[in-house]
């Protein structure tokens, strides 16, 4: 299986429990908004009940002169089968819908934050595997160079051109390169396993990566980063929506001082017989009818509970404004910091590339000079060490630049790729 960075990102989004948790929270917030909106709209309920009441005399009704003991009921046998259209007009409910809507926006922004953070993780792991593979190739080449250099010193010793100490130094160097090769193999194996856990739902290490670690990737200008960050930064958007949530909480708490109105419209049966029509004293009439009930609730006294809720909401709003101010300052600082990191990594990458080329040439030429008796064994050993160190730094520099670009996309939402 050959994977590109985009393939890895798509798989990680499906496999990451942390990212999916943020998506789930956004979905839950969206459903909360739907429920809050539904609470503002009229509801229809079909009510069915039967009431049996002890009478004060023979079975009858209040209409025929035989009262029931429980005067709240209309008859000894009362059957109710009605549709109820209910509507509540409440300032608190309206503010709750607005608060939940803003909370849903916060949840969406947090899901976006999680998505962009996952990109950084995947980029770091993806190019970490690529760099580990490149380091493994360098270690193999260094081990081969160490083995070849040992053969050269042995041949020169047999010819009487160098001392046995050169052979000893070459063998020590060769064995050190072999240990470095084993460590590079282990590091490559472990980074592949970590990457596999990140992107696959089941264990699978049968894959290879597209070799684009050292492909040229342009760095956007600082002005572009600033414009995109100001427009598309999810942390700032979440902080703004959190302030809106707090504002609606304050208004909703203050709604406890205001009256609320409910209205119910009933249509159906409310009679002594469970039937559409009834007959009393030889006269037929319909049991179907309608009624309207309006209720106005006026808050009078609740021991300061409403006032306490208002104070709580105002405290939360003040804190939300502080966090918004902090998010704005952090955004300005992060733009400068992350862009400087990416710019520095890019500038250093060109120098590291040139250093890697020079280290390879230096190793080749120093080995030739040693064969011709113009260099010492220490110069060759130093050239080999420099070759390994510089190549490793070159691969690490490429990973650093890719991760720096990924960190920039946490602010802008755009990942710069080849």
Q: Does residue 326 or residue 203 have the better pLDDT?
A: 326
The reported pLDDT for the residue numbered 160 is 85
Q: Does residue 294 or residue 52 have the better pLDDT?
A: 294
Residues 6+ away with beta carbon under 8 Å from 369: 375, 379
Structure-token pair, residue 66: 């035989």
**Residue ranges of the domains in the chain?**
2-26+117-231+329-412
Question: Is residue 137 predicted with pLDDT exceeding 50?
Answer: yes
The reported pLDDT for the residue numbered 61 is 47
CATH of 2-26+117-231+329-412, one of 2.30.140.10, 3.30.310.50, 3.40.190.10, 1.20.1600.10: 1.20.1600.10
Task: Give yes or no for a contact between 274 and 75, defined as CB atoms under 8 angstroms apart.
Answer: no
pLDDT tier at 126, thresholds 50, 70, 90: very high
The reported pLDDT for the residue numbered 203 is 80
Which of 139-143, 209-213, 238-242 has the least mean pLDDT? 209-213
Q: Taking residues 248-257, what's their average pLDDT?
A: 94
Q: Which residues of 314-328 are buried (b: 16+ CB within 10 A; e: fewer)?
A: eebbeebeeebeebb
Question: Is residue 278 predicted with pLDDT exceeding 90?
Answer: no
Of all residues in the chain, what percent carry a pLDDT higher than 70?
95
Which of 273, 208, 291 lies closest to 4 in space, CA to CA? Answer: 208
Which of 231-240, 281-290, 359-368, 382-391 has the least mean pLDDT? 281-290
pLDDT in tens, 183-229: 999 999 999 999 999 999 888 888 999 878 898 889 999 999 999 99
Q: Which residues of 183-221 are buried (b: 16+ CB within 10 A; e: fewer)?
A: ebeebbeebbeebbebbbeeeeeebebbebbbeebebbe
Report the chain's mean pLDDT, rounded to a whole number.
90
Q: Taking residues 143-147, what's their average pLDDT?
A: 92
The reported pLDDT for the residue numbered 62 is 46
**CA separation for the pair 200, 208 (Å, rounded):** 13
Q: Please provide the size of the chain in residues.
A: 418
The reported pLDDT for the residue numbered 373 is 86
Per the rule left: phi > 0, alpha: psi between -120 and 50, beta: everything else, 417 is: beta
pLDDT in tens, 42-87: 999 999 988 887 766 655 444 455 555 666 667 777 888 999 999 9
The reported pLDDT for the residue numbered 240 is 94
Sequence-ordered alpha helix ranges (H) in 73-163: 91-158
Q: Taking residues 328-333, what's their average pLDDT?
A: 94
């Amino acid at each position: 299986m050959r994977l590109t960075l985009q393939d890895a990102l798509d798989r990680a989004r499906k496999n990451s429990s942390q990212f999916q948790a943020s998506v789930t929270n956004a979905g839950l917030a969206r459903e909360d908004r739907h429920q809050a909106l539904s609470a503002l709209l009229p509801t229809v309920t079909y009510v069915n009940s039967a009431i049996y009441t002890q009478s004060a005399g023979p079975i009858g009704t209040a209409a025929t002169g035989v009262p029931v003991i429980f005067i709240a009921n209309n008859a000894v046998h009362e059957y109710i089968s009605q549709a109820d259209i209910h509507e509540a007009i409440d300032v608190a409910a309206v503010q709750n819908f607005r608060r939940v809507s803003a909370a849903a926006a916060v949840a969406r922004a947090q899901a976006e934050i999680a998505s962009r953070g996952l990109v950084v993780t995947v980029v770091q792991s993806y190019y970490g595997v690529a760099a580990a593979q490149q380091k493994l190739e360098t270690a193999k080449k260094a081990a081969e160079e160490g083995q070849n250099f040992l053969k050269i010193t042995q041949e020169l010793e047999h010819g009487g051109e160098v001392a046995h100490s050169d052979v000893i130094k070459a063998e020590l160097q060769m064995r050190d390169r072999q240990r470095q090769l084993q460590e590079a193999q282990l590091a490559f194996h472990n980074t592949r396993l970590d990457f596999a856990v990140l992107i696959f739902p089941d264990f699978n290490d049968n894959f290879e990566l597209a070799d684009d670690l050292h492909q040229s990737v342009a760095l956007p200008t600082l002005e572009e980063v600033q414009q995109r960050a100001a427009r598309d930064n999810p942390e700032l958007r979440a902080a703004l929506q959190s302030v809106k949530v707090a504002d609606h909480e304050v208004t909703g708490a203050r709604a406890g001082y205001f009256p609320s109105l409910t209205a119910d419209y009933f249509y159906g049966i409310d009679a002594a017989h469970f039937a559409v029509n009834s007959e009393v004293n030889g006269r037929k009439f319909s049991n179907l009818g309608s009624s309207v009930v309006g209720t106005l609730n006026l808050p009078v006294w609740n021991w300061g509970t409403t006032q306490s809720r208002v104070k709580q909401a105002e405290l939360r709003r003040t804190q939300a404004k502080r966090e918004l101010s902090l998010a704005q300052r952090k955004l300005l600082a992060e733009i400068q910091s992350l862009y400087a990191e990416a710019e520095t990594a890019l500038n250093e990458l060109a120098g590291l590339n040139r250093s890697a080329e020079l280290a390879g040439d230096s190793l080749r030429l120093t080995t030739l000079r040693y064969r011709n008796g113009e260099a010492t064994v220490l110069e060759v050993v130093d050239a080999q060490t420099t070759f390994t160190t510089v190549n490793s730094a070159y691969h690490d520099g490429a990973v650093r630049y890719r991760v720096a670009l990924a960190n920039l996309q946490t602010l802008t939402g755009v990942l710069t790729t080849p």
